[in-house]
Amino acid sequence: MGKYGGDVLTRVETSIIINATPEKVWEMLALDRMPEWMDDLESSEYITEVHTPEDRYKVGTSAHWIKVDKEDHDMEIMESLKNEKIVFRTSPIHGVHMTGTFT
């Protein structure tokens, strides 16, 4: 139940065109690479075992993030289709799970 008695669902969409191959963009979507392009992330370390480069994108792979403001949370891959789509879900941030999709 949301704060006002019902379920709360907010959808935010942003679209950009990146002048790079899908393979290059895919590399940057690994959980440990996101601090390189997300200004509010200080660090990211895998919680699950990662033995191969492909393991970084497997469903169930998760990482612990520490933000610049020292707030921390976990992120898990919920869906992954190589070079096409990846879906992440956070542990609660201020009581709310967030889901992000990159296509």
Beta bridge partners of 71: none
Around 65, how many Cα atoms within 13 Å sit in the side-chain half-sphere? 27
Q: What pLDDT does residue 3 have?
A: 47
> What pLDDT, on a 0 to 100 scale, did the predictor assign at position 8?
62
Mean pLDDT value across the chain:
87
Asked whether 100 and 41 are in contact (CB, 8 A), the reply is no
**Mean local confidence (pLDDT), 37-48:** 92
| pLDDT above 80: residue 73 | yes
Mean pLDDT computed over 68-93: 92
Does 78 score more than 80 pLDDT?
A: yes
**Predicted local confidence at residue 97, as pLDDT:** 83
Alpha-helical regions (H) of 1-102:
22-28
